[in-house]
Structure 1
Amino acid sequence: MIDHTDLEKTFLLKVRPDQLFSITCLVRQKIMNPGYDPKIQVEVDPTEDTEWNDILREHGIIPEKPRKTEELEEEAREEKKEQQHANRLENKTLNELDELEDDEEEEFLEKYKQKRMAEIRRLASKAHFGEVYGISKPEYKKEVTEASKHCFVVVHMSLHSSLQSRILANLLNLLAHKYPQIKFVDIPASRAVENYPETSCPTLLIYKGGDVIKQYVTLLRLAGNQTKISNIEDILVEVKAIKDTDRRLVKNNEPHDEHSNIGEHQLSNEVGEDEDDFLINRFII
């Protein structure tokens, strides 16, 4: 608590006699009413580092002391250094971060590890799904429109007789396990929309906030019959359902990582050996 008398004495020692009454009133007003905006002009150099100026700054009578260029430059250097550290560590696993302890500043590394662990916990708390849910038309509003107010929802309007629809179904099954924080649903197109054209299947819809934010009719705008997990991941990154730096993304895996093409390898086994047209098109195109 500030002693009013001492504060006033400090002011009195610093001012000229002709300023005495005005300054005393100003100080009392500021102490009794912190929101008071004084209009009295006090003759001081706000750049001086004095006890007098400290008191004036404390009570908002003069502005804060301008920061020195050297201080600003030092702060900018520190921020740049931290950003360089962060960029180097961005896609490292916790085990890889442990291996870097000898090369990085311990304090910064520990802070970054805590940040990564918090991010992992955040993702885990959102991991409610993990599979593709089959839904009916009466369930659409609740399972898609309403659900998208809390998370991203990816809808596959499917047609079993469509090769591309079967390709997409396999990809979405893999993605649902890979990104359990995103909800994936499947509904036969004919049940979702009466007389929906078979030539428009598969249709891929992405919902957020109760609205469709992205739509693909067939896979032609992607890679057609050669569509891979990475193509769908690019869409999810574009709509911000996944961060571009997410280590789970195929593109963020090491080139020779045995898991880097997960989905591409599995898909070739899951589509089936009876898809002769698929294989012919794949090698001819």
Structure 2
Amino acid sequence: MVVKVGINGFGRIGRIVFRNAVEHPDIDVVACNDPFIEPHYAAYMLKYDSTHGVFKGTIEIDGQNLIVNGKKVRFHMEKDPAAIPWSETGAEYIVESTGVFTTTEKAQAHLKGGAKKVLQERHPVVSNASCTTNCLAPLAKVIHDKYNMIEGLMTTIHSYTATQKTVDGPSGKDWRGGRTAAANIIPSSTGAAKAVGKVIPSLNGKLTGMAMRVPTQNVSVVDLTCRIEKGILDYTEDDIVSTDMCGHPASSIVDAKAGISLNDNFVKLVSWYDNEWGYSRRVLDLLSYMAKVDGAH
């Protein structure tokens, strides 16, 4: 079953979702929207990417349309989600990737434009959480199911993102977040551990975490230190570093050789994730799953 999808917000995640969708047999992106990017510039940014390289295909412009691999993709420039004519293009599922319409109430505005679902809780609006949550959750679940996690502390060593500054500048309440991203290791907050407790109730209140924003452009890593009830068996993997994981489609790649243990019940686990590419793949997987569930009813 092919799902017709619209993308609102053509920033990092919007464009990487688009690139991944081209390779996904169940996803057909029929329209995009970004009020701050005109179609010619959108085509340029889709084609050239400093992290993931040149787009492997053809991109052309036809008026307000992008022509990607010979297929027309309508490009809108509406500020109000309710004004985007999704129904005109047949887009039923919308990927909300602006980072602005992050509540159910705000994201539901897309439904007025003819959308069926917005990927952003039964729910016409669904959240795919964050890239860090997508890395931590499978790791925590496997450990908890197998060894019964008593408690855990998580740190994500996270590449800088577009919300950070290229030079020191004002940053509201987060003063550290206003410092130069490419020159500093910046302590920050993350809701990933709390989010895991929402989807795995038996871990609710057992996990907390923080982030360290570091001067690398892509690929991040979760460091999970936890107390467990049962001992863990040893095993080994390759000696990888962060750039080896750029473009990896998985959400969580466990690096067994980087992990350590104080004893059988107190361990540190390390898991890599491409915070752009791997996360975007899970967005598409969720879209495909939602469409199958909807089709069965």
Q: TM-score range by the shorter chain?
A: under 0.3
Q: Could you tell me the TM-score, scaled by structure 2's length?
A: 0.20
Q: Could you tell me the TM-score, scaled by structure 1's length?
A: 0.21
The answer to which structure has the higher strand fraction is 2
Find the structure with the greater CA-based Rg: 1
Higher relative contact order (CA 8 A, sep 6+): 2
